[in-house]
Amino acid sequence: MTAKEAHITVRDLTMAYGDYVLMRDLNFTINRGDIFIVMGGSGCGKSTLMTILIGLKAPAKGKVLYGEVDFWGADAQTRDRVIRRAGVMYQSGALWSSMTLAENVSLPLETYTDLSPGQTREVVELKLALVGLAGFEEFYPSEISGGMQKRAGIARAMALDPEILFFDEPSAGLDPVSARRLDDLILELNESLGTTMVVVTHELASIFAIGSNSVFLDVSQRTMTATGNPNQLLAETKDPTLRMFLTRGEKS
Amino acid sequence: MTAHGEMIMEYPSADTVKLVLSGAWKLGGELPGDDKVQQTLQDKPGVRKVVFDTRELATWDTGLLTFLMNLSKFCSRQHININSDGLPGGAKKLLELASAVPEKKDARQAEERVEFFTYLGDETIYLVQSAGALLAFIGDAVIAFQRLLRGKAQFRRADLGSIMQAVGAQALPIVSLICFLVGLILAFIGAIQLQLFGAQIYVADLVGIAMVRLMAAIMTGIVMAGRTGGAFAAQLGTMQVNQEIDALKTLGISPMEFLVLPRMLALGLMMPLLCLYANLMGILGGMVVGVGMLDIGLIEYYNETAKAVGLWNLGIGLFSGCVFGIIVALSGCMRGMQCGRSAAAVGDAATSAVVTAIVGIIISTALITIICNFLGI
Ligand SMILES: Nc1ncnc2c1ncn2[C@@H]1O[C@H](COP(=O)(O)OP(=O)(O)O)[C@@H](O)[C@H]1O
Ligand SMILES: [Mg+2]
């Protein structure tokens, strides 16, 4: 195996809302080209961890390093520059509701590239087709279902072919076939473009199918209790909470 | 069969209490409270174990479960062992499920009673902070405007167009109605006084100057505060709720430029035009009274108005209109951007946007009036 290069390093991170500490002492590394799964029960702070990683919320303590750059120690411009190379899919889709799907996907392209309108349209069509939404270009977000909004959110997130893609529960609310297709898409993008993926999810099927690395946030301990390849974790873990999570609590 | 649940306590051994439950343990029926058991357990500190006998239990539902939950909470506090083997199988499983996830204690925000002075202090600090936030927002808006002047601001021209249409052309009917009536009312009030001296003709001066210099701008401003300021706040607030604004930020697009700037520009540009139109409407309203009721000739009324209303009056009116437009846009956008993540927060944002805008309009009217007075114009 080739030596892996750290893409995002999290050091001694504590996240809190005011006095309410969600998680403390988080330490893990996301390597370049990883499909990194953030797993844990609902409400344990997975989305919050993501907002810290993408620069929307400052950590209470600790550091996030992008390569060598201290993300939260740097000024706002540096943070902007770093995060511009990332794409984010939000838990609720967060499509701009006053724009059509095509406009949603093309806004990043128009803002950061010099593509002609024709080229932009082609890219938009491709990205929407990739998530199974070909032909929905002129629809408004309110005119499509929740699962479709999620997929459109993914199309927007990958509009600029970012180095890192963040997904917040991409397959929640999707039918099994679409969820499976989404997993394939994530794997494919990861392999062909080398995109680092950070996926917040608790779909076991996805976790084992796509995850190459992971971190498990344990609510009861208020910290992470494991990190590593999920399949390996399942085989080796002695921690009853993690075992319960990875086996849906079914006794084997 | 008894229509209500019954409980008998037995003492099979010195450290055990056995609860014999019988009858129908249904919610809404007559049920023995668990306070009786708690009392007994407290009176007999030797008891370390609770067991159940439910062979006589006919039916049960949530009524039984709440009884058992309360009891088990009490027992775990007192370190008394509960043996649930005697319970119906279903009840046992449901209880296990209900206690599978431990209660998260610090997640629940404590509803503390705050003292009056603490409350007063908190509110004062909040007021100071929100004044700071207002200044910061205005500062950000000015920076965004500078970037616009340097041609670097990012927003969609199409957005600007549609906002201009929404705040301009579509506001014409309501502005017409309000300003026409205000002109009419001013003329009526003036006429009653001026008729006493036979000086009806000065109704034209009164209405003209009042409308052009002040009233048209204020009335349009207030209409726009209610109509557009609230709408901006609701729109941006909903975007905040849906994380749409987060999505802009992570893309590196400044919401200040993308959302606030076009709204500010649209209102800043359209308000003077609306004011101009409102002036005409107001004068028309006054004319209806002057010509119809006071028998002033149409031409006469027009000439008197033209003589009375100077260019300065018009300039001050339009300038005020522009300022009010920016105030309405800023307060609407600011409250929208500060909005929390719930439907109620969107409502609060809309309310507070309208209030902020109206207060802003009145205060700036006062300032403009004082400054004009000072400059002698
Ligand atoms: N804006 C907020 N203010 C205070 N507490 C919050 C806020 N957002 C989330 N929380 C709390 O943080 C916890 C974790 O939330 P979240 O990160 O959304 O969880 P999840 O792991 O399901 O994505 C929840 O218990 C929630 O109560
Ligand atoms: Mg979440």
Asked if B35 contacts B7 with a C-beta cutoff of 8 angstroms, the reply is no
Residue A209 contacts B where some CB pair is shorter than 8 Å = no
Nearest atom within ligand 1 for CA of residue A42: 22
Segment B81-104 shows an average pLDDT of 77
Between B70 and A82, residue with greater pLDDT: A82
pLDDT at A120 over 80: yes
Position A251 scores a pLDDT of 61
Nearest atom within ligand 1 for CA of residue A91: 23
Answer yes or no: do B107 and A80 touch at CB < 8 A: no
Position B332 scores a pLDDT of 95
Answer yes or no: do A80 and B253 touch at CB < 8 A: no
Q: Which CATH architecture has domain A1-85+163-173+196-252?
A: 3-Layer(aba) Sandwich (3.40)
**pLDDT band at residue B70 under the 50/70/90 scheme:** confident
Q: How far is the CA of A107 from the centre of ligand 1 (A)?
A: 29
Position B199 scores a pLDDT of 87
**pLDDT band at residue B105 under the 50/70/90 scheme:** low
pLDDT digits (tens, 9 = 90+) for A53-78: 999 999 999 999 998 899 999 998 89
Residue B107 to residue B115: CA distance in whole angstroms? 23
Segment B239-258 shows an average pLDDT of 91
* Closest among A241, A203, A239 to A219, alpha carbons compared: A241
Probe site for chain A from B250, B253, B254, B341 (most A CB atoms < 10 A) = B250
The count of CB pairs under 8 A between chains A and B is: 52
pLDDT digits (tens, 9 = 90+) for B275-330: 999 999 999 999 999 999 888 899 999 999 999 998 999 999 999 999 999 999 99
Q: What is the dihedral of CA A213, A219, A225, A228, to 10 degrees?
A: -10
Position A178 scores a pLDDT of 81
Position B88 scores a pLDDT of 85
Supply the pTM of this predicted model: 0.75
Q: Is the CB of A44 under 6 A from ligand 1?
A: yes
**pLDDT band at residue A3 under the 50/70/90 scheme:** low
Residue A107 contacts B where some CB pair is shorter than 8 Å = yes
pLDDT digits (tens, 9 = 90+) for A212-223: 999 999 988 889
Asked if B245 contacts B254 with a C-beta cutoff of 8 angstroms, the reply is no
pLDDT at A2 over 60: no
Asked if A104 contacts A141 with a C-beta cutoff of 8 angstroms, the reply is yes
Between A185 and B3, residue with greater pLDDT: A185
Q: Please give the domain boundaries of chain B with CATH numbers for all domains.
A: 5-98 (3.30.750.24), 129-375 (no CATH)
Segment B183-194 shows an average pLDDT of 92
Q: How far is CA A200 from the centre of its chain?
A: 6
Lowest pLDDT segment from A60-64, A107-111, B1-5, B154-158: B1-5
Closest ligand to Cα A168: 2
C-alpha to C-alpha distances, B213 to B199, B205, B218, nearest whole angstrom:
22, 12, 10
Answer yes or no: do A97 and B250 touch at CB < 8 A: no
Give, for B54, the enclosing helix (H) or strand (E): strand B49-60
What letter would DSSP give residue A43? T
What letter would DSSP give residue A138? T
Q: How far is CA B16 from the centre of its chain?
A: 58
Residue A58 contacts B where some CB pair is shorter than 8 Å = no
Give, for A13, the enclosing helix (H) or strand (E): strand A6-17
Amino acid, single-letter form, for residue B376: G
Percentage of chain A with pLDDT > 90?
39
pLDDT at B101 over 70: no
Asked if B18 contacts B11 with a C-beta cutoff of 8 angstroms, the reply is yes
Closest ligand to Cα A39: 1
Tally Cβ neighbours within 10 Å of residue A59. Answer: 22
Probe site for chain B from A80, A120, A164, A167 (most B CB atoms < 10 A) = A80
User: How are beta strands B81-82 and B49-60 bridged, if at all?
Assistant: parallel
Position A119 scores a pLDDT of 85
User: How are beta strands A35-40 and A196-200 bridged, if at all?
Assistant: parallel
Task: Name residue, tokens 């953030």.
Answer: A38
Answer yes or no: do A94 and B247 touch at CB < 8 A: yes
Asked if A10 contacts A28 with a C-beta cutoff of 8 angstroms, the reply is yes
